[in-house]
Amino acid sequence: MLAIVGHSALDRTAWPDGRRENRLGGAPRFASRALAGTGAAVVLTKGGDDELRAPLYATGLQVLAGPSRRTTTYDVRLHGDGTWHETLAALGDRFTPHDVETWMAPALEGCSAVVCGSLWRGDFPPATLAALGRGRTLYLDAQGPGRAPRVGPVVIEGPLWRAGIAGVRVLKMNEHEARVLLGEVDLTAAESTGVPVVVVTLGERGAVVFADGVATTVPAEPVAIADTVGTGDAFLALMAAAELAGAGPVEAVRHACDGVAAMLWSRRVAEAAAESGAA
């Protein structure tokens, strides 16, 4: 079983056509949607309320929401070409070792892997990663360690926070994050992290897997779409699920690329329907 751990964030989203929408953001939303109906994962989250988290409950996966005082909040502006800008308006509560030992513990007992959907540096402190990683494989999104814990425009700031990746087996980042955090997108830079498997996603060009001293490029099907938010979260969850099913890193990344392309095609159909209805 796979555990998806991350914030239920509030995304206050502005569309290119002027529409505005408050919607659930954060790794649990997009990861759980990618694995919906599979029964292969449990979602452990904090932030928001039952109304905001409704999309999680609709996936058919087990969802546990822990206590929190604050909700991570973003202002997101979609530009219409698959890119977006976001501003962090409010920081949620960190995940703590106490969380792992209390409300998360029953669900984690049956899990052999954990996907940590980090949003900002320190939301998964080193002690929390250590607690989550006891007897379990850790997958981490590097966007979190690359983002300072402060409100304002979201930017990636290097170098990579090494303490924030201790014990991680698979580290995922996009191409921009890799250049800022590591300096280059190459085998030497990937190996310098000390993480056994580093995956750099390349957008519509696919991804490159750095593992066992080899760099392997995996192509993807390009999909032109306005809203690509959350594709990285879905990618990492799909990769983790594939590895749990017995795939190697490269095969798992190929599965993740295919799954994300299918998700984007689904969104494209929904966007076309929304545009048609607004016309």
Write the single-letter amino acid at 224: A
Range of the domain at 53: 2-278
Mean pLDDT across the chain: 93
**Cβ–Cβ under 8 Å, residues 5 and 132:** yes
pLDDT at res. 265: 84
- In the three-class reduction of DSSP (H, G, I as helix; E, B as strand; rest coil), residue 190 is classed as helix
For a pLDDT cut of 90, what percent of the chain falls above it?
Answer: 85
Query: What's the confidence (pLDDT) of residue 226?
Result: 67
Mean local confidence (pLDDT), 167-180 = 97
How many folded domains does the chain comprise? Answer: 1
Dump the DSSP string for 59-113.
TSSEEEEE--S---EEEEEE-SSS-EEEEEEE--PPP-HHHHHTTTHHHHTT-SE
pLDDT tens-digit series, residues 193-210: 999 999 999 988 999 999
Q: What percentage of residues in the chain have a pLDDT greater than 70?
A: 96
Average pLDDT of 164-170? 97
Question: Tell me, what's the pLDDT at 278?
Answer: 57
Q: Which of 266, 278, 204, 273 is nearest to 33 (CA)?
A: 266
CATH value at residue 140: 3.40.1190.20
Question: Given this model, what pLDDT does residue 89 score?
Answer: 97
The residue among 31 and 39 whose pLDDT is bigger is 31
pTM over 0.85: yes
Length of the chain: 279
How high is the pLDDT of residue 204?
Answer: 87
CB crowding 193-207: b at 16 or more within 10 Å, else e:
bebebbbbbbeeebb
77 or 278: which leads in pLDDT:
77
